[in-house]
Amino acid sequence: MFMARTLTLIPLFVLTVALPLSISAAIVNFERNLRLGDSGPDVKALQVILNANPLTHVASSGPGSPGDESTYFGFLTKQALIRYQELHSQDILIPAGLASGTGYFGLLSRAFVNSLESSKSSGGSPVVLAVEPAVIERDGEEVIIRGGNFDSDNNTVFIAGESTDAFTNLSSLDGKTLRFVYTPSFIAVVREQLFKASVGRDYQTVVQAFGSNIQERLPGHDEALVALAAIVENSNGKSQTFNLIINLSALLLVQ
């Protein structure tokens, strides 16, 4: 009897030790570092997390795309992870003294993702998983924040460069989405500056020069994409810092 029970438990024990991540009620906890060439169920779990945000999709179709995540950490996973790390640079890169993503899923990256996953299950602080649209290109665009632990009302979104009372009393019917209309406050100021500065010059050329000189501009894009740090706050606490990405070039060229 004892022998039979022991034999039954052995595969369970082996399975528990062998799995490099814990999965409980769809909440994952990464327990090893991941790099190019690795494989396993934790790689697939990582791809699912990367695919939650259109800006960090592993692939748009085929293996690695949303719903078709794979267990192999290939080049596409590395590139998506680099974008993810740069989107969450305040929590992952800056504490390590890094300016750009590495594509290595190490201690800080794991800690950040694990804390997000933990928040999802704990009923604790708000957690932000994705922002739509991935890039804001028009005035007055509706922004949707997807995540969890949002209150039914009285959620506040704080955005760098904006008033603290600009996005307050936001409601969330499902506790997972927040919606608000966003026009960056500084756009009108910059437009006026550039109209004055471009007298006798081509406005579009001036906008391009302006965009190319922005310190916080995201690398690797032709247009001036700027990350604005933001957080969600409600009665449960504060979310992690996340970024709203705006296309400054497009916003400035709209008359």
Partner 1 sequence: MNKIILVILLCTLALTLPLSPTKRAFSTGVGGELPFGGVQGFTLICTCSANTLHYIFDYRVKSVLPLVYQPGVSKLYAKWNIWGRYFLGSYRPGVRSCLIFVGEGCITIQSAGMMGSFPGTGTSGL
Residues within the interface to partner 1 (CB under 8 A):
160-164, 184-186, 189-190, 193-194, 196-198, 201, 205-206, 209-210, 213-216, 226, 228-229, 248
Count, residues in the chain: 255
Name which of 70 and 240 has its Cβ closer to partner 1.
240
Of the two residues 174 and 222, which places its CB atom closer to partner 1 in the complex? 222
> Rounded CA gap, 65 and 167, in Å?
33
Cβ closest to partner 1, residue 33 vs residue 163: 163
In the block, tokens 């052995």 appear at 10
Cβ distance to partner 1 smaller for residue 8 or 213: 213
Q: Which residues contact 180 (CB under 8 A, 6 or more apart)?
A: 142, 143, 157, 167, 170
3-state secondary structure string across 92-148? CCHHHCCCCCCCCECHHHHHHHHHHHHHHHHCCCCEEEEEECCCECCCCEEEEEEEE
Q: How far is the CB of 174 from partner 1 (least distance, A)?
A: 30
- Kindly state the smallest distance separating residue 171's Cβ from partner 1, in Å: 24
Taking the least distance from each CB to partner 1, the nearer of 38 and 162 is 162
Q: How far is the CB of 254 from partner 1 (least distance, A)?
A: 18
- CB of residue 214 to partner 1, shortest distance in Å: 6
How far CA 106 is from CA of 16, 31, 34, 86, 97, in Å, comes to 21, 10, 7, 14, 14
| Minimum CB–partner distance for residue 163 and partner 1 (Å) | 6
